[in-house]
């Protein structure tokens, strides 16, 4: 019997292909609201469906399930799933054929969304809205384009495709990681540009993405030195004033993984979580660190998340699925592009 328990603000990952007793104990902690899956949680489509069903049977309302499923280098589920090309391929198509690129972007969203929803996954951390400045190796061909207007158009089409399959989209890494050279997984990145330059270019793709129905945003562990001394994910200026205020975003704000080096400036794991939540994040992620997750959950206690924002992230039943001709056409087009 599932346990009646409101959803909390923490997102964590299980250790393996099925739930251990330790996983079950963590996932029924009041502070947990969702589960993020990685390649180490995936073996086959049948195994993934069983794992997702096992997770959803634990609690009521069901825990949400999410994944980084962008395509290219960042696609956690491969065997049995359509190979999604790096998003930069869409940008290259756009340079020669705008209409075809936008059609392909929507088809990529349909393909990703239908396949994830069919296996029990609710939402994906995509699209990457960072611009391709040619400087950041961790972004690189994950970026749709170097031009803000093009990236915004393509992202909006991708979001519409995901939505038609019933799957929510989370854009990242706000306000932009493409200019900062350092990889925030292993270092603290800095961006020394003035606010006006960041707003004019890096923030610009978020406007059409939000208009297209972007459900979530993940801020970067990047410090924009001329704007705020804190990384964007710990910055009330970036989250409350700009994202909520100026851009009018009303969806869910997710921290990036708190185990990353870029998050370390706030102190220990619990301090990092509170820094993110205090700045305006609704949800915090901690991945691939079971002991750290125990520490985080103890520190968060009975914390609850915004229920309406969480529910917006849940996959909608009855949307396009893998049996439709539209899905088959979309997946065929993406296979050809890849």
Q: Spell out the residues 6+ positions from residue 122 whose beta carbon is closer than 8 angstroms to its own.
A: 34, 64, 65, 66, 116, 167, 168, 313, 314, 315
- Assign 1 a pLDDT band (cuts: 50, 70, 90): low
pLDDT at 319: 81
The answer to whether 300 and 32 have CB atoms below 8 angstroms apart is no
Residue 122 a catalytic site member = no
* Average predicted confidence (pLDDT) for the chain: 95
Most confident of 174-183, 202-211, 260-269: 202-211
Residue 222 pLDDT exceeds 90: yes
User: Which stretches of 212-319 are DSSP H helices?
Assistant: 236, 269-279, 290-300, 307-312
Which domains are seen in the chain, by residue range?
3-337 (3.20.20.300)
Q: Out of 132, 202, 256, 257, which one is annotated catalytic?
A: 256
Mean pLDDT across 27-55? 97
- What are 192's strand-pairing partners? none
Residue 256 a catalytic site member = yes
Mean pLDDT across 37-46? 97
Q: 85-124: per-residue pLDDT in tens?
A: 999 999 999 999 999 999 999 999 999 999 999 999 999 9
- Assign 209 a pLDDT band (cuts: 50, 70, 90): very high
pLDDT at 232: 97
Q: Out of 185, 228, 274, 321, which one is annotated catalytic?
A: 185
Helix, strand, coil shares of the chain, percent, nearest 5, are 45, 15, 40
Window from 31-35, 130-134, 279-283 with minimum mean pLDDT: 130-134
The two structure tokens encoding residue 277: 């939540």
pLDDT at 271: 96
The answer to whether 284 and 31 have CB atoms below 8 angstroms apart is no
Select from 153, 309, 152, 175 the least CA-distant residue to 242: 175
pLDDT at 317: 78
The CA dihedral of 300, 305, 311, 313, to the nearest 10 degrees, is -60
Rounded CA-CA distance 190/198 in Å is 13
Q: Spell out the residues 6+ positions from residue 80 whose beta carbon is closer than 8 angstroms to its own.
A: 44, 45
Q: 135-175: per-residue pLDDT in tens?
A: 888 899 999 999 999 999 999 999 999 999 999 999 999 99
């Amino acid at each position: 019997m599932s346990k009646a328990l409101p959803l909390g603000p923490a997102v964590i990952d299980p250790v393996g292909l099925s739930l251990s007793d330790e996983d079950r104990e963590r996932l029924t902690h009041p502070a947990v609201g969702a589960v993020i899956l990685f390649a180490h949680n995936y073996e086959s489509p049948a195994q993934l469906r069983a794992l997702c069903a096992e997770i959803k049977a634990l609690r009521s309302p069901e825990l949400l399930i999410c994944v980084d499923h962008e395509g290219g280098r960042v696609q956690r589920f491969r065997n049995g799933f359509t190979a999604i090309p790096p998003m930069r391929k869409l940008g290259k198509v756009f340079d020669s054929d705008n209409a075809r690129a936008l059609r392909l972007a929507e088809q990529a969203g349909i393909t990703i969304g239908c396949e994830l929803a069919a296996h029990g996954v609710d939402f994906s951390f995509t699209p990457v809205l960072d611009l391709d400045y040619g400087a950041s190796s961790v972004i690189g061909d994950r970026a749709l384009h170097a031009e803000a207007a093009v990236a915004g158009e393509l992202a909006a089409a991708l979001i519409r495709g995901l939505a038609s399959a019933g799957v929510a989209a989370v854009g990242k890494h706000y306000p932009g990681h493409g200019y900062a050279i350092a990889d925030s997984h292993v270092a603290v990145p800095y961006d020394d540009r003035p606010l006006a330059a960041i707003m004019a270019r890096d923030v610009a793709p978020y406007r059409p993405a939000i208009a297209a129905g972007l459900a979530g945003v993940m801020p970067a562990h990047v410090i924009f030195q001329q704007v705020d001394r804190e990384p964007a994910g710990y910055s009330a200026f970036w989250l409350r004033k700009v994202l909520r205020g100026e851009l009018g975003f009303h969806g869910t704000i997710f921290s990036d993984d708190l185990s990353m080096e870029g998050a370390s400036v706030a102190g220990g794991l619990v301090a990092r979580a509170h820094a993110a939540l205090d700045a305006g994040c609704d949800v915090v992620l901690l991945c691939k660190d079971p002991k750290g997750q125990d520490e985080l959950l103890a520190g968060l206690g009975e914390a609850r998340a915004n229920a309406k924002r969480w529910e917006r992230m849940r996959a909608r039943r009855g949307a396009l699925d893998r049996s439709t001709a539209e899905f088959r056409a979309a997946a065929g087009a993406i296979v050809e592009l890849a």
